[in-house]
Amino acid sequence: MWQQIWGWILDPNNPSFLISVALAFVIGTLVGLRMRSPREPKFKPMSPGEDQSFLRGIRYILSNDHDHAIEEFTKSVQVNSDTVETYVALGNLYRSKGEIDRAIRIRQSIILRANIDEQIRMRALFDLGLDYRKGGFLDRALDTFSKVLEENPADVEALEEIEKIYEEMKDWSNAYGTRKKIARLTGGDHGHILAHHQTELGKMYVEKGETSKAKGCFNKALSIDERCIDAYLHLGDLHFAEGDYEGAINRWKGIVDVAPQFTFLAYRRLEDVYLRMKDFGIIEDFLKECARSNSDPFTHMALARYLYNKEDYEGALQELRNALELDPGFWEARKFMVEILLRKGQKEEALAVYGAILSGLSVPYLKFRCRNCGFRPADLQWQCPQCRKWDSIDFVGRIEEPQLPSPLPDQEAKKR
């Protein structure tokens, strides 16, 4: 119980430290029981001085003052070295401060104690694995968590830590196998994680030039989870690399059906197809289908690039106007508009749009955010770098709308 309480309080991934204050009353009650209960012979009774240090340590934890908490708990164990839970708290505090060597020594001292409760020993072994992992000793961490599983093969928490280590080591095959064990133990839908593991494994095969194995992984990912956008993208890339442009586009079109808000990820890839295909019909059909299912600035931008490559400059400008009506701060559309206007020799209009770009450069953007922990990556990632959750990054657009001028002077403005 105590190890779980300390772990909860000191967990850096806890979404809100303030919630821990609500546990203060519960912790106080537990402390009282700890002091008085004759049914826990493995702990010696605390002296009044130790009791005060222990309680002060808790208060410092709740106020997020780890330095003073360490000081008070150290005083507590100097009075009574048999209070195992206080050592556990010290180990967690040292780990939270990055003092991994001290944390490891404390865990090892707990594990080596004679006549220690087996549940406490196993928790100390698990915490030792966490210490190794935070210290970057991944092989030692993996070995430690494996020892935990030897004692309890159904320990989901240990399996999840092993999976994280395999992911950090980019050992996607073992990460996949570990997640399958977790799925069997916990039930529920784990398809999106398993699909990402297969996709990452496929990317590694691509780097090695083993395209057949890579295709197998991408297709397996889609058979596990048809919403795995990353698998669609990279499977299309393989078709493109083989010269099968129609096959590539068809793969990218799959995104439209399952997650149209992410179709913009395929638009840049289409630009390479423009240069290689003589028949633009399939590209036009794809973009029009995207526009019907998800009319957003990115879709109009893609249509503009397509029309530009067909030398339909007026059509491209109109699509850019459509994009800017939806998002006046879409500076990339304005930049492309300048390029087209300069190509047409309309320098004054280009200068007006260029001025709008400059006025919007100071506008803050928040393109992506993790809905689990709130982390804001600079670009889209399928796994949050902070909380390590898969598919938790959402496209959220801009923080605030800039006050920008009209996308392009119309004919009335020219006359005035």
61 inside domain: yes
Mean pLDDT estimate for the chain: 78
35 inside domain: yes
Angstrom distance (rounded) from CA 27 to CA 33: 10
* Max avg pLDDT among 43-47, 81-85, 188-192: 188-192
Tokens standing for 8?
A: 């909860």
**pLDDT score at 5:** 44
Residue 17: pLDDT band (50, 70, 90) is: very low
350 inside domain: no
Q: How many CB atoms lie within 10 A of CB 255?
A: 23
142 inside domain: yes
More confident residue, 390 or 416: 390
List, for residues 259-282, the tens digit of each pLDDT value.
Answer: 888 888 888 788 778 777 766 777
How far are the Cα atoms of 156, 249, 342 from residue 130, in angstroms, in the given order? 15, 45, 59
112 inside domain: yes
List, for residues 103-129, the tens digit of each pLDDT value.
Answer: 898 888 888 888 888 988 999 999 999
The count of structural domains within the chain is 1
Q: Are 93 and 10 in contact (CB under 8 A)?
A: yes
Q: Is 221 left (phi over 0), alpha (psi -120 to 50) or beta?
A: alpha
List, for residues 176-219, the tens digit of each pLDDT value.
Answer: 999 999 999 999 999 999 999 999 999 999 999 999 999 999 99
**pLDDT score at 1:** 42
Angstrom distance (rounded) from CA 212 to CA 243: 15
Q: Tell me which residue range forms the domain holding 19.
A: 1-152
Angstrom distance (rounded) from CA 7 to CA 23: 13
Q: Are 257 and 226 in contact (CB under 8 A)?
A: no
**pLDDT score at 141:** 96
Query: DSSP strand E in 168-272: where?
Result: none
116 inside domain: yes
**pLDDT score at 130:** 94
Q: Which amino acid is at 131?
A: D
List, for residues 341-391, the tens digit of each pLDDT value.
Answer: 888 888 777 777 666 665 555 444 557 889 999 898 888 899 999 999 999
Give the predicted TM-score (pTM) of the model.
Answer: 0.73
CATH of the domain at 28: 1.25.40.10
More confident residue, 177 or 394: 177
305 inside domain: no
117 inside domain: yes
Q: Are 307 and 315 in contact (CB under 8 A)?
A: yes
